[in-house]
Structure 1
Amino acid sequence: MAGSMRGDSVEEFKGLRITSLDDEEEEEQDIDIDEEDEDEGETDYTVLGFVKKPKNPHSLLRHFFPSKAGGVPAWLDPVNLPLGRSFLCDICGEPLQFMLQVYAPEDVEYAFHRTLFVFICTSMVCLRIDQHEQWKRHPDKPSRSVKVFRCQLPRDNPFYSSEPPKKDDKPPGSEVSSCTWCGTWRGIKQCSSCKIALYCSEKHKVKHSQLGHDYDCQRVRFASESIDSSLSNSGTISSELQKVVACTTLWPELEVIQEDEDEFDTRMSDDNGGVSTLVSGNRTDDTIMSLMKEFEGDDERKSWLSFEERIAWAPEQVLRYCKTPDAKPLWPMSSGRPSKDGIPKCSHCSGPLRFEFQILPQLLYYFHVRNDKDSLDWATIAVYTCEASCDSSVAYKEEYAWVQLS
């Protein structure tokens, strides 16, 4: 989900592209928009994200600049990962779980490559507290269970060639070792016994130990003693040994693919097949119109109906991406929306943040998350990023997510 790519050779880079509406379309839309429609975000040019199992998991490696959900992040900068408490839930202190990443380069040299990473705590208790905390007007130390990190690189950088990768290319070798338990964050704590397993936190070290690593550890030590000492001394370990120490609890890895939303509108105007829908692109169904009148005094139901009506164009969408200036999320509910003053400034340059994309709860279905009262759930998660995509010495700059619960 990207701005237009720069240079002929770079057009091959994988990413979701967004093109601007032409002036005539923008002018026509401006005539028909009233303030309420603007609040619903119905006129923004939007790219929809869908997930599918990748035909070739190799295509989701970091040097192909993927947009993906689940699995482990394909870190853009594979060395300078977030450290300190930035990768922990501010509420329970557990390491956050990787949800998805979006490759979205900008038309500036310092953000030639640009990826946004979204992480979440899997505790619904923490998410409810997070929603309450975000209403506090820009506290010095916000407590968040959903975090977004922006990483960007110029075309000339130490990690990637300036030319697009070829199909069978292997990722460049420069990267840090990741946590054995979650595979997500940097491994900074070593198992004192096998000297192989690494952990991002003491909690993941304890969890791995409780679920059988102590026994596996003995097997690793025995196997390590039996392999060639030169391999052992160089720190190399066979794939069999890596399988012994690997123990992850990740969501399934899925590729994010994109479609322009207006294409679904056009398809439904041409025929009624393919996607179940409540309305066509050019006319409002009489039943929906009567329901809208019935709900006229109920802002919450009216907002939800408008949301469902729009989502029904493509019910399997999990992500809505929009870089139109002054774009707004498609809010499911009228309550629980931030005011203009409710969105903080960029924590790095103090400039304004803009809405860039939102994540829909349909993603949880593809992650096989149970649908019960204690399971993770949300109405939408809206991601706001620095309008200037400011550059700084921090490799992973934290952005802002607004959570609206159902």
Structure 2
Amino acid sequence: MAAGAAGPAELGFAEEAPAWRLRSEQFPSKVGGRPAWLGLSELPGPGALACARCGRPLAFLLQVYAPLPGRDDAFHRSLFLFCCREPPCCAGLRVFRNQLPRKNEFYSYEPPSETGASDTGGLVCLQLKSGAHLCRVCGCLGPKTCSRCRQAHYCSKEHQTLDWRLGHKQACTESDHLNQTAPDHNFLFPEFEIVTEAEDEITPEAVEMEDYSEVTGSMGRILEEELDSMARHESKEDHIFQKFKSKIALEPEQFQYCGFNENGPHGLIYLNA
């Protein structure tokens, strides 16, 4: 995606955070894990979240909380980015936007608590207030159910098979486990909160491209390897991805993304191919 009108860039740093801070009612910006859906009804279905090339379920990559000042209908607003991570494809990218007015059927009119009062011990609720069920594996809309227990929900046959093979077969008749998310079967990206700050004035010439490989910290290394691996499946000469790497080399541990105005994103640092 090419950059639009020039605007101030923000750096998004991936940092560890307690589980309750990454839930929907906290309106988080985060990378990895399962999506913290903003609107709790009319979620994108399995068809919308299937890779256009290979047909497999897309994996949640990140979400950004980006309300629009002065827009009553976008008092709450989040963007959700999904990608295909199944080799040899690793190509599909899809973005969804969801927005709500301040007064809505899902959240309090007042700001959320910042004390962790809503903490549920790290568990993710798989049934939304709208009554919709989420997939035990990926946290997306799950219209399919286990034919044996009729209680575990899935977005696709692929995720139902994966969960059955790696745990649900033994726990299928144990009701205490059916409302909990499945263990991570290496489908999800590592989960971190995205904490933002304004970019300092640093010229690109100050950092050589070779320095990009010297990412410090375990979080930076994990996320860099995931994205770099996906890019290699597409093209080693991918121009857009190289520009993205060049930009974030200025601050290696960051996620760089854009600001937003009434027309959508601007100042985007190239994240897709």
Q: What's the TM-score once normalised by structure 1's chain length?
A: 0.50
Distance 1:125 1:45 in 2: 36
1:70 maps to which residue? Answer: 32
* CA separation of 1:192 and 1:307: change in aligned 2, threshold 3 A: closer
Given the alignment, which residue of 154, 159, 171 partners 2:101? 154
Given the alignment, which residue of 179, 182, 189 partners 2:135? 179
Deviation at 1:115, TM superposition (A): 0.2
Q: Deviations over 1:286-330 (max 9, x none)?
A: xxxxxxxxxxxxxx9x999987665343222122223479xxxxx
Deviation at 1:41, TM superposition (A): 8.0
Deviation at 1:152, TM superposition (A): 0.3
**Which of these two proteins has the greater Rg computed from alpha carbons?**
1
2:191 maps to which residue? Answer: 253
Distance 1:254 1:147 in 2: 20
1:121 maps to which residue? Answer: 84
Unaligned regions of 5+ residues in structure 2, if any?
120-124, 208-236
Preserved CA contact (<8 Å) 1:190 1:197: yes
* CA separation of 1:213 and 1:154: change in aligned 2, threshold 3 A: same
Deviation at 1:116, TM superposition (A): 0.2
1:357 maps to which residue? Answer: 268
Distance 1:308 1:90 in 2: 25
Distance 1:213 1:307 in 2: 40
Secondary structure at 1:162 match in 2: coil
Unaligned regions of 5+ residues in structure 1, if any?
1-38, 129-144, 224-236, 270-276, 281-299, 326-351, 359-379, 382-402
> Which amino acid is the alignment partner of residue 160 of structure 1?
Y
Deviation at 1:94, TM superposition (A): 1.2
Q: Deviations over 1:118-173 (max 9, x none)?
A: 00010354345xxxxxxxxxxxxxxxx11000000011111111110112443997
Distance 2:21 2:148 in 1: 36
1:60 maps to which residue? Answer: 22
Secondary structure at 1:255 match in 2: strand
Asked whether 1:102 is paired with 2:38, we answer no
Distance 2:5 2:266 in 1: 14
Q: Deviations over 1:172-217 (max 9, x none)?
A: 97153211222x2122111121222111112221222233432332
Higher helix fraction (1 or 2): 1
* CA separation of 1:161 and 1:53: change in aligned 2, threshold 3 A: same
1:215 maps to which residue? Answer: 170
Q: Deviations over 1:44-64 (max 9, x none)?
A: 31111110111x221111111
Between the two proteins, what is the percent identity of the paired residues?
36
Specify which structure has the bigger relative contact order, considering alpha-carbon pairs within 8 angstroms and separated by 6 or more residues: 2
* CA separation of 1:180 and 1:310: change in aligned 2, threshold 3 A: closer
Preserved CA contact (<8 Å) 2:152 2:178: no
Secondary structure at 1:206 match in 2: helix
Preserved CA contact (<8 Å) 1:189 1:199: yes
Preserved CA contact (<8 Å) 1:188 1:200: yes
Preserved CA contact (<8 Å) 2:248 2:255: no
Note the 1:7-406 alignment, pairs <5 A: 44-54=7-17, 56-83=18-45, 85-107=47-69, 108-128=71-91, 145-167=92-114, 168-170=116-118, 174-175=129-130, 176-182=132-138, 184-217=139-172, 221=173, 223=174, 237-238=175-176, 242=179, 246-249=182-185, 250-261=188-199, 264-265=200-201, 279=206, 310-323=247-260, 355=266, 357-358=268-269, 380-381=270-271, 403-404=272-273
> Which amino acid is the alignment partner of residue 72 of structure 2?
E
